Amino acid sequence: MRILFLSENFPPESNAAATRVYERAIYWVKWGNDVTILTSAPNFPEGKLYPGYRNAWRRVEYMDGLRVVRVKTYMTANQGKVKRTLDFLSFMCAAYLIGLFEKRPDVIVSTSPQFFAAVAGWALGVSRRVPFVFELGDLWPASIVAVGALRPSLAIRWMERLELFLYKNSNAVVALSRAFKRNLVRRGIDANKITVVINGVDTWRYQPRPPDEELTKLTGLKNKFVVGYVGTHGMAHALGNVLNAAERLIDQTDFAFLLAGAGAERDQLINDATKRNLSNIIFLPRQPKEAMPAIWSLCDVALVHLKNADAFRDVIPSKMFEAMAMGLPILLASPAGEASTILESDKAGIHIAAEDPDALTDAVRQMKDNTELYKSLATGSLAAASFHSREAQAKAMLAVLVNVRPNT
């Protein structure tokens, strides 16, 4: 089967969407499918072109059996309204135009968070007369309203109508959570066209390992109990709460917080930590995807942190599954919802209220001081990883694509 997949983010970018698309697609190629990824030149989240790349109108490369076509976009940092919108729209237009000249696929897939890529996918499906599948990675625009990036307005209502149009006019929807499916069904989308394929992890890539010696020396984290957050530092993650917890633990020199990644809030977090003399917080810049297991190896606890907003009840952060495969107990600070249900069902960690520094402080102390609890959660976390493998996820989504492909 020939698959054309639209995703604005793709490796060497290392955010959740880029990783998800790549790790599934390499299985599809392994199983005999022809996969082309239509994406942008890597620049997320700083909006700066990665070394070795050009922001060309069309550039083709090959990566682990995948054919990757990169198109020219307006590049900007992952912050601000107007510039980010121009970024999204530029990818939508460029992907559609370049996609018209790609070999005719059997199925076209687009992934969110931002759904303008899905607009391009739907339009290509209509133009090329092939089925279109919408992978729903985030409820957008609801999520951008939830973080305060945009306020409810006429533009938001227009985007919500466009969102529903895409769901209704796709041949199938693949939702990354059961809550996403429930949301769509409540809004009138046929439940039979929605398949839930929860996020996962490549268990051959992420495995328990001792702390990386070089990184341990670099960060000064030897003999520390390390609570690690690895991922985007954005408005959705409310990481200022971590600084508040660190301040409460500043006199306990055996604790440390590791924040690794990039994003719109990172510079402000570093400035605030410096002003408050929070020497127990270590910041690492964005790392290539292949370095992620080494980063996780520094951690005793994996911190998964979300803003206190109802929209995030439905979100399942992919870093949860990476932590499971690494055998790390998880400390989930978020609104109660689908992620906390999975965590508690798998007995893989502790869930606390979002943006509550006292709850975060108490949970960190509990995980360090209660050795029996810590070992139990670490065991449960590692055992759960096998139920969330990327291979199983790839099979489930491929079945959806095969099902919508017209008989030839």
Backbone φ and ψ for 171, nearest 5 degrees, come out as -75, -25
Peptide bond between residue 12 and the one before it cis (omega within 30 degrees of 0): yes
Global pTM reads: 0.84
382-398 pLDDT, tens digit each: 999 989 999 999 999 99
The tens digit of pLDDT for each residue in 203-244 reads 989 999 999 999 999 999 999 999 999 998 988 899 999 999
Residue 408 confidence (pLDDT) = 55
- Give the homologous superfamily in CATH for domain 213-388: Glycogen Phosphorylase B; (3.40.50.2000)
Q: Quick check: 39 pLDDT over 80?
A: yes
Domain 2-200+389-404 has CATH 3.30.43.10: no
Calpha distance 61→69 (Å, rounded): 7
Q: Over the range 320-357, which residues count as b (16 or more CB within 10 Å of their CB) and which as e?
A: bbbbbbbbbbbbbbbbebbbbbbbeebebbbbbebbbb
Return the domain boundaries, the chain.
2-200+389-404, 213-388
Query: Could you say which DSSP state residue 193 is in?
Result: G
- Please state, in angstroms and rounded to a whole number, the distance separating the CA atoms of residues 249 and 334: 21
How far is Cα 197 from Cα 176, in angstroms, rounded to an integer?
A: 5
Comparing 2-200+389-404 with 213-388, is the CATH topology the same? yes
Instruction: Provide the 8-state DSSP code for 225.
Output: E
Report the alpha-carbon distance of residue 250 to residue 252 in Å, rounded.
6
pLDDT per residue over 52-73, tens digit each?
A: 999 999 999 999 999 999 999 9
H or E element, residue 163:
helix 154-169
pLDDT of res. 144: 54
